[in-house]
């Protein structure tokens, strides 16, 4: 029996997100992802949404985007996921970190990819979904201009990769659409700029001024491309307005928890949202 068949037999019709590291980042950010679909439907009148996801891992965020499309657009929309699903920490300064070793092992063994493929079989009905397995630097240039309402960038967090992904997605979002991403723990004006620059090719670092962990590559690239952005608990977003990019406001956003979250992730999201609900 193949790995894919085994996963389907063990978890028929149910996503697999309960294993360690299947959901990366803070689960509460998924509420704001779903809130972004609400914003485009209720504030901008988009009746169908086309979402591009750059960096998909095990599929948790893809399922959240799909839930947003299902909730606010009655399933009218599409989802395109781009990921190489190959190890990428090996030659980086973070290669020996426990999380990097574990993630690279899941990628080298294809476990992360097979879980992703299984999880995509649990998407709500009606959503057209596809995935492209390849490096974003090769895939994104092949995509047609202005075809997406949302481009979500959450792949390699080294500055050079984030900067390239953001630059490549600028032309892919139609007017009024949104570019967003994960893991913006600190904006540039909230950090020691010299520390950001010195560590920008690292995945994770600790800011010497605050003692907080952050992703210097994400901080540097987002600031370089957009300046200061709208951000909620690490999830950030900017809306295309002609040739400019504007922050968005999620005031009034309904609080919708991902249906695919296992109990631990749901409890974590609920606890964290109680602390930051003033943001909306």
Distance, CA of 200 to CA of 215 (rounded, Å): 8
Distance, CA of 26 to CA of 269 (rounded, Å): 7
E strands present in 61-157: 77-83, 128-133, 148-153
Distance, CA of 239 to CA of 148 (rounded, Å): 12
pLDDT at 268: 97
Please give the chain's pLDDT, 280 residues, in tens: 467 766 666 577 799 999 999 999 999 999 999 999 999 999 999 999 999 999 999 999 999 999 999 999 999 999 999 999 999 998 788 888 899 999 999 999 999 999 999 999 999 888 999 999 999 999 999 999 999 999 999 999 999 999 999 999 999 999 999 999 999 999 999 999 999 999 999 999 999 988 889 999 999 999 999 999 999 999 999 999 999 999 999 999 999 999 999 999 999 999 999 888 877 8
Strand 77-83, strand 128-133: pairing: parallel
**pTM of the entire predicted model:** 0.95
pLDDT at 1: 46
Q: Characterize 86-95 residue by residue with b for buried, 16 or more Cβ atoms within 10 angstroms of its Cβ, and e for exposed.
A: ebbbeebebe
Whether 145 contacts 172, CB under 8 Å: yes
pLDDT at 125: 84
**What is the distance, to the nearest Å, from the Cα of residue 101 to the centroid of all Cα atoms in its chain?**
21
DSSP for residue 24:
-
Backbone angles phi, psi at 148, to 5 degrees: -120, 145
Distance, CA of 233 to CA of 207 (rounded, Å): 17
pLDDT at 221: 98
Whether 240 contacts 172, CB under 8 Å: no
DSSP H or E segment with residue 54: strand 49-54
Angle between helices 263-276 and 29-38 (to 10 degrees): 70
20 Cβ contact partners less than 8 Å away, ≥ 6 residues apart: 102
């Amino acid at each position: 029996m193949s790995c894919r068949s085994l996963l389907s037999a063990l978890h028929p019709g149910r996503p697999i997100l309960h294993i360690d590291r299947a959901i990366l980042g803070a689960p509460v950010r998924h509420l704001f992802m779903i809130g972004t679909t609400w914003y485009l439907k209720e504030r901008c009148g988009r009746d169908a949404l086309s979402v591009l996801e750059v960096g998909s891992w095990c599929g948790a965020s893809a399922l959240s985007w799909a839930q947003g499309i299902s909730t606010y657009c009655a399933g009218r929309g599409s989802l395109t996921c781009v990921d190489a699903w190959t190890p990428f920490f090996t030659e980086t300064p973070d290669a020996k970190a426990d999380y990097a070793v574990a993630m690279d092992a899941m990628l080298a063994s294809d476990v992360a990819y097979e879980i992703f493929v299984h999880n995509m079989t649990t998407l709500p009905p009606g959503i057209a979904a596809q995935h492209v397995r390849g490096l974003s630097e090769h895939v994104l240039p092949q995509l047609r201009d202005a075809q997406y309402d949302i481009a979500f960038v959450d792949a390699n967090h080294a500055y050079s990769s984030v900067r390239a992904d953001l630059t490549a997605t600028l032309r892919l979002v139609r007017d009024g659409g949104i570019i967003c991403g994960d893991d913006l723990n600190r904006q540039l004006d909230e950090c020691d700029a010299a520390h950001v620059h010195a560590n920008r090719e690292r995945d994770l670092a600790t800011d010497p001024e605050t003692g907080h962990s952050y992703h210097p590559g994400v901080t540097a690239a987002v600031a370089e491309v957009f300046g200061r952005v709208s951000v909620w608990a690490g999830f950030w977003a900017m809306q295309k307005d002609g040739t400019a990019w504007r922050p968005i406001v999620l005031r009034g956003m309904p609080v919708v928890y991902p249906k695919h979250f296992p109990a631990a992730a749901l409890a974590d999201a609920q606890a964290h949202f109680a602390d930051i609900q003033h943001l909306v």
